[in-house]
Amino acid sequence: MVERRIPISVKEAVMRVMKFAKEGKKEEVSIYECNGRFLCEDIVANHDVPSFDRSAYDGFAIRSVDLKGASKEKPITLSVIDEIGAGQVCQKRIGEYEAVRIMTGAMLPSDCDAVVMFEVVKEGRENDQPYIIIDHEVGKGTNLSFQGEDVKKGKVLVEKGTKINPGIMALLATFGYEKVPVAKKPIIGIFATGTELLEVDEPLEKGKIRNSNAYMIMAQIERAGAIPVYFGKLQDVFTVSYEAMKEKLASVDILITTGGVSVGDYDLLPAIYKELGAEVLFNKVAMRPGSVTTVAHLDGKLLYGLSGNPSACYVGFEIFTKPIIRRYLFSSKPHLQSAPAILGEDFLTANAFTRFFRSTVSWKEDGLHTVPSGVDKSNIVTSLAFANALTILPSNSTGYQKGERVNVLLLEEEEGSEWPWN
């Protein structure tokens, strides 16, 4: 008699996996190599930005008090006693009715409190001494960029676990991070199991298929921020598969297999977990696709038995493996980001299990819309190419109608969610 498996809810299954979530190791990499990596420490402003008051325009630094009462009828003349470009510092004292020619970004001389742009003054020269005539009052602080206006020292700017993007690169450089503290990428091993599998360079044969899961999972691992190591495919032969898994487990942080987790005669993973002495966290989840997803635990390492069916394999990874990788990368929002969306098509079949249909979401005037990205069956591979979301349809007996509000999990969004399963 075949083993009867009792399905547990997706939420329960994710909770069981997340009990093993931990922050990974840290390393420092050159700023040249950190784009796309995940910060393992918060980035805190270690000084004010800007760190001095500076001119926001090309013009003249003045003392606003000198221009009190200036008007068209009563213009005021200031003697220009120095000139500074960005990076230069004025060494002179600026006295009554004196000004300094100043360029954008240059430090405001300490005796001045405002800048007037070139465009609004009249320039002249007498006895080789330049002067300016101004016909209006200028308020204190005009045309300045103030110390700390951008950010004040001590502020937490970017939290650990955030993926470094071009804007964060600018912050790292601003605060002098020549070396950047990032999470070490976990190493995820992959075996594709199945006697029917051909490698990508092999011609098709009767009864055989090309192994697509390994390449898909490698790309999903990279998208999650980890390093995939593909150990090749395994025939459905117990001793060979067992020995190979046992050997490679030592060299990885997580081991993924695809296929062989259901109840078929050649589904060997349940017996392999037993022989390895691994604790199986679950082997049936009330979800489709991916109901056979199995996760086991051995000596601090997780073993993922993802389904052989491509769509089930894909979804199993995104729901159960990605958050473990993201926690490893220090994220406090490790799960896929969830968002409300409007169902773009009827989905009228009853669901005994929660359904995650591979979807294409797009913005319209009234919000995010979701439509299937292809046929909704777990053995389908083509729908995956166009999926940028998984639409969650909780189990019900009536199905769902076009226009209904649903939740989607966004596959490409960098910022995840803390817990999308409530």
Ligand X SMILES: Nc1nc2c(c(=O)[nH]1)N[C@H]1C(S)=C(S)[C@@H](COP(=O)(O)OP(=O)(O)OC[C@H]3O[C@@H](n4cnc5c(N)ncnc54)[C@H](O)[C@@H]3O)O[C@H]1N2
Asked if 189 interacts with ligand MOO (CB under 6 A), we say no
Asked if 354 interacts with ligand X (CB under 6 A), we say no
Count residues binding ligand X (CB under 6 A). Answer: 27
C-beta neighbour count of 334 within 10 angstroms? 22
- Return the structure tokens found at 249: 């487990």
Closer of 213 and 359 to ligand X (Cβ)? 213
CA 335 to CA 338: how far, in whole Å? 9
Asked if 237 interacts with ligand X (CB under 6 A), we say no
**Amino acid present at 257:** T
CA 316 to CA 307: how far, in whole Å? 8
Residues 192-211 close enough to bind ligand X by CB under 6 A: 192, 194, 196-197, 209, 211
Of the candidate residues 36, 264, 340, 367, the single one contacting Mg ion (CB under 5 A): 264
Question: At closest approach, how far in Å is the CB of 183 from ligand MOO?
Answer: 31
Closer of 314 and 330 to ligand X (Cβ)? 314
Give, as one character, the DSSP assignment of residue 149. S
**Amino acid present at 255:** L
CA atoms within 13 A on the CB side of 31: 13
Asked if 236 interacts with Mg ion (CB under 5 A), we say no
Q: What angle do CA 304, 309, 313 make, to 5 degrees?
A: 35
C-beta neighbour count of 313 within 10 angstroms? 29
Question: At closest approach, how far in Å is the CB of 264 from ligand X?
Answer: 5
| String marking each residue 250-279 x if it binds ligand X according to CB under 6 A | --------xxxxxxx--x------------
Contact between 255 and 226 (Cβ < 8 Å): no
Contact between 118 and 58 (Cβ < 8 Å): yes
Asked if 174 interacts with ligand MOO (CB under 6 A), we say no
Asked if 288 interacts with ligand MOO (CB under 6 A), we say yes
Closer of 213 and 262 to Mg ion (Cβ)? 262
Q: What are the Cα distances from residue 344, in Å, to 337, 341, 392, 402?
A: 20, 9, 13, 5
Chain residues that interact with ligand X, rule: CB under 6 A: 192, 194, 196-197, 209, 211-214, 258-264, 267, 289, 291-292, 307-310, 312, 378-379
Chain residues that interact with Mg ion, rule: CB under 5 A: 262, 264, 267
